[in-house]
Structure 1
Amino acid sequence: MAVGAKRGINPDSPLARLIAGPMRPGRLAWIGLRPARRAALVHVERAEVTVEAGLIGDHHAGRADGPRQVTLIQAEDLSAIAAFLGQAGPASPFDLRRNLVVEGINLLGLSDKRFRVGGVLLEATGGCHPCSRMNDILGEGGYNAVRGRGGLTARVIEGGEITVGDAVTVEG
């Protein structure tokens, strides 16, 4: 798919060239698995990822080619969410319920792209919008604090193992 095609951007435009421009690599900072719907996340240092099942041990596992096989959020957004709630320190990845926390790379820049986390190839499928439970988990205003900062959803194109510390790079 051409850069910006989902956004209706002319692929030959200066804006499309900027969007397709280089991005510094990021780093995988945290991995969490959701063993069951509404169950507490389990923090792990490494995880197996397959095309057929997504993250092994996550309740979304087994949904081949699903658009939410993996969810990601930026570490930088955890600090912003806490600030919007008037809290010191970053929000907890356990509360946001995303699988992967990455740092040093702008997830919005990965929209409509394929990217690697370690050796695993993912394809961004859309925004990971907050759910109504954010007010229950984060307190009053939690839903609005996460709006626009909920991260990305992705599907697995090539599986493998990921480990905290792996590079996050745009496939290109």
Structure 2
Amino acid sequence: MAFPFFGDDKSLVAKLLATLPQTGRIEWIGQRPVRREPLVAVLEAELKTDSHLLGDHARPKAGGKRQITLLQHEALASVASFLGLPEPIAPGRLRRNLTVSGLNLLALKNRQIRIGDEVVLDITGECHPCSRMEEELGPGGYNAMRGHGGLTAHIAQGGIIRVGDVVRVVVVG
């Protein structure tokens, strides 16, 4: 049987990058009502088009690339392991708005995703850890988070999202 990616004018790597049929799931939603205070877990939230997550203190500029942040749910156990902790880290400690399971978030860079029926996000880049991770996780927290900081996104189409919503890549064309 021939490998399906050979013999085309598109490069193998380009085809592999474009192949992402899996779907993910929203596992956790967090809002930061007050700067530097703990995130509050909610079961649903509203995202305002080209703006922010309602209930969050941050008010990114229109057209901004960091209007909401996402974290790989599976990274919670990885980061805990790097720190020698027996249990996965609680999502709110890592200061991202959403955790998503079932999809490799890095494969979503520079793509659009749909959450549930309404919300569309433009994935704009990586969300690297900051020095706050040392405060939150203790010595080594920053380095434990390297490569696991998640992604930033622009809210292309707002609406309501809920824990349990399906996350899928928007296929263009």
The TM-score with structure 1 as length reference comes to 0.90
The match for 2:58 among 46, 55, 60 is 60
| CA contact 1:54–1:64 (8 Å) conserved in 2 | no
The match for 2:28 among 8, 27, 30 is 30
Deviation digits for residues 103-128 of structure 1 (CA, Å, limit 9, x no counterpart): 11110110110001112000111101
Counterpart of 2:76 in 1: which secondary structure? Answer: helix
Dislocated runs of 4+, deviation >3 Å: none
Match of 2:84 in 1: 86
Deviation digits for residues 79-103 of structure 1 (CA, Å, limit 9, x no counterpart): 0000000001111111100000111
Q: Aligned letter for 2:107?
A: G
Aligned residues: 162
Distance 1:146-1:62 versus aligned 2 partners, 3 A rule: closer
Q: Which moved more, 1:79-88 or 1:64-73?
A: 64-73
- Report deviation, 1:75: 1.0
Match of 2:4 in 1: none
Q: Percent identity?
A: 51
Q: Aligned letter for 2:11?
A: S
The match for 2:106 among 94, 97, 108 is 108
Unmatched tracts of structure 1, length 5 or more: 1-10
Q: CA RMSD in A?
A: 1.3
Larger radius of gyration: 2
Counterpart of 1:16 in 2: which secondary structure? Answer: helix
Distance 1:62-1:139 versus aligned 2 partners, 3 A rule: closer
| CA contact 1:33–1:44 (8 Å) conserved in 2 | yes
Q: Distance in 2 between matches of 1:82 and 1:30?
A: 17
Counterpart of 1:150 in 2: which secondary structure? Answer: coil
Match of 1:142 in 2: 141
| CA contact 2:47–2:119 (8 Å) conserved in 1 | yes
The match for 1:12 among 7, 10, 13 is 10
| CA contact 1:125–1:153 (8 Å) conserved in 2 | yes
| CA contact 1:51–1:65 (8 Å) conserved in 2 | no
| CA contact 1:48–1:55 (8 Å) conserved in 2 | yes
| CA contact 1:34–1:57 (8 Å) conserved in 2 | yes
Q: Distance in 2 between matches of 1:51 and 1:35?
A: 19
Counterpart of 1:60 in 2: which secondary structure? Answer: coil
- Report deviation, 1:62: 5.2
The TM-score with structure 2 as length reference comes to 0.90
Q: Aligned letter for 2:87?
A: G
Counterpart of 2:14 in 1: which secondary structure? Answer: helix
- Report deviation, 1:61: 3.2
